[in-house]
Amino acid sequence: MEHKAIRIIISGGGTGGHIFPAISIANKMKEINPDNEILFVGAEGKMEMEKVPAAGYEIVGLPIVGLQRQLNWQNIVNDIQVPFKILSSVRKAKRIIKEFKPDIAVGVGGYASAPLLWAATRLGIPSLIQEQNGFAGLTNKILGKKAGCICVAYEGMERFFPAGKIVLSGNPIRKEMTVPPTAEMKAEAMTFYGLDPAKKHLFIVGGSLGSGTLNKAMKAWITAGCPGGEDVEVIWQCGRYYKKGVDAFLAEHPAPAVKHFDFIGRMDLAYAAADVVISRSGASTVSELCALGKAVIFVPSPNVAEDHQTHNAMALVRKDAALIVKDAEAGEKLLPAALELLGDPEKIAAMEQNILKLALTDAANVICEEAYKLTVK
């Protein structure tokens, strides 16, 4: 296919799980043709307004907000404003489209994706949706009726979208996370994190903000004297929000075998060190773990739309590629399950093989090729 220079709007954001795939798509579009012009559209006040310019791209914000789930006075006031902000966002999206004149609009999910794609289809601009999760949200299901293509990361998405529009692309992931770690990387990780290569290693990752559930499970285990962990070392990413409290806890409950960090800069080395990973099951994280071929225990966050993290995790559990512990049961069951798995190298090897079979590592390229197809129809 000829890759002539085109103009692309990429909309969405709100979380790293939306933003980083969007940036990966933009980077691939620039790699395909350096003359491609790209404009991001995000939600005012959300993290994309910082992360996208840092990646070298222009972004315009919409005044869109989401519906709140907790019923209190402030949320009632905010919800009253929602219809007005939606209308304002749609009007602004139309102005942006008329001024930028895109050849294609790509939606990656998040607040800004809906008004931008809705406006694009109304103005005759072809659109592509990148659905990252195993359970599509209401907005994408509605937008999917008009989209030219829906790129998905999981099988069985015909229950949400027209089958003829679906392309199994996978989720775009960071380049350094596209292949399993080598023995050399594992050796480097041992040195980098000050670990003993003779021991088994557990990596607990709760995201940049951290996970209260995972942190409570770790604290309970440490308080009990780390039972079953005599030959185990732990890399514990507790999150910036919880770092002060975890520091104080470990000062009172020293655990030399536990290396804790608020943020992991070298995720590739943390994964390389791990024999078993404990993680939430956001879409990008799941895709990275598949590509890396890691044995993982998922603890899906209950605080997400349509419980999509459980759907993401179960897509792997059903194929014997991961284990799952419910958020409400993590305090009691999580660390015992992880230690049991660490003691079963045959099961770890089987899980590694099974999860690697689910890896789709060329997602950004597939999505860009599908976008180009829509521009020539």
Print burial letters for 179-188: b (CB count within 10 Å at least 16), e (below 16).
eebeeebbeb
pLDDT (tens digit per residue) in 140-188: 888 999 999 999 999 999 999 999 999 999 999 888 888 899 999 999 9
Q: And the tokens for 101?
A: 């004149």
Query: Which residues does 241 contact at the CB level (< 8 Å), separation at least 6?
Result: 209, 210
20 versus 209: the higher-pLDDT residue is 20
Per-residue confidence at 69, pLDDT binned at 50, 70, 90?
very low
How much is the average pLDDT of 215-235?
A: 97
User: What distance in Å separates the CA atoms of residue 21 and residue 108, rounded to the nearest whole number?
Assistant: 8
Query: Counting Cβ atoms within 10 Å, is residue 7 exposed (0-12), middle (13-18) or buried (19+)?
Result: middle
79 versus 375: the higher-pLDDT residue is 375
How much is the average pLDDT of 41-61?
A: 93
Query: What is the rounded (10 degree) CA torsion for 254, 259, 262, 267?
Result: -170
Contact between 124 and 98 (Cβ < 8 Å): no
Query: What's the mean pLDDT when you consider all of the chain?
Result: 92
- What are the structural domains, with CATH classification, of the chain? 7-172+361-375 (3.40.50.2000), 176-356 (3.40.50.2000)
pLDDT (tens digit per residue) in 319-368: 999 999 999 999 999 999 999 999 999 999 999 999 999 999 999 999 99
How much is the average pLDDT of 119-139?
A: 92
Question: Which of 55-64, 84-93, 232-241, 337-346 is predicted least confidently?
Answer: 84-93
pTM: 0.87
pLDDT surpasses 70 at 82: no
pLDDT surpasses 70 at 71: no
- DSSP 8-state code for residue 67: P
In one-letter notation, the amino acid at residue 36 is N
Cα dist from 251 to 245, 246, 248, 255, whole Å: 10, 8, 5, 9
User: In the prediction, which pLDDT does 175 show?
Assistant: 80
Query: What is the rounded (10 degree) CA torsion for 27, 29, 32, 37?
Result: -110
Which phi and psi (to 5°) does residue 283 adopt? -60, -45
Contact between 103 and 8 (Cβ < 8 Å): yes
User: In the prediction, which pLDDT does 257 show?
Assistant: 97
**Rounded percentage of the chain residues whose pLDDT exceeds 70:** 95
Query: Counting Cβ atoms within 10 Å, is residue 77 exposed (0-12), middle (13-18) or buried (19+)?
Result: exposed
pLDDT surpasses 70 at 73: no
> What does the chain come to in residues?
377
Query: Which residues does 353 contact at the CB level (< 8 Å), separation at least 6?
Result: 293
Distance of CA 364 to the CA centre of its chain: 14
User: In the prediction, which pLDDT does 78 show?
Assistant: 55
User: In the prediction, which pLDDT does 138 show?
Assistant: 79
pLDDT surpasses 90 at 127: yes
Query: Which residues does 199 contact at the CB level (< 8 Å), separation at least 6?
Result: 231, 232, 233, 257
User: In the prediction, which pLDDT does 70 show?
Assistant: 44
User: In the prediction, which pLDDT does 12 show?
Assistant: 87
Please choose, from the candidates 280, 248, 43, the residue with its C-alpha nearest in 3D space to the C-alpha of residue 139: 43
Pairing of strands 166-168, 149-152: parallel
User: In the prediction, which pLDDT does 68 show?
Assistant: 44
User: In the prediction, which pLDDT does 79 show?
Assistant: 60
Per-residue confidence at 377, pLDDT binned at 50, 70, 90?
low
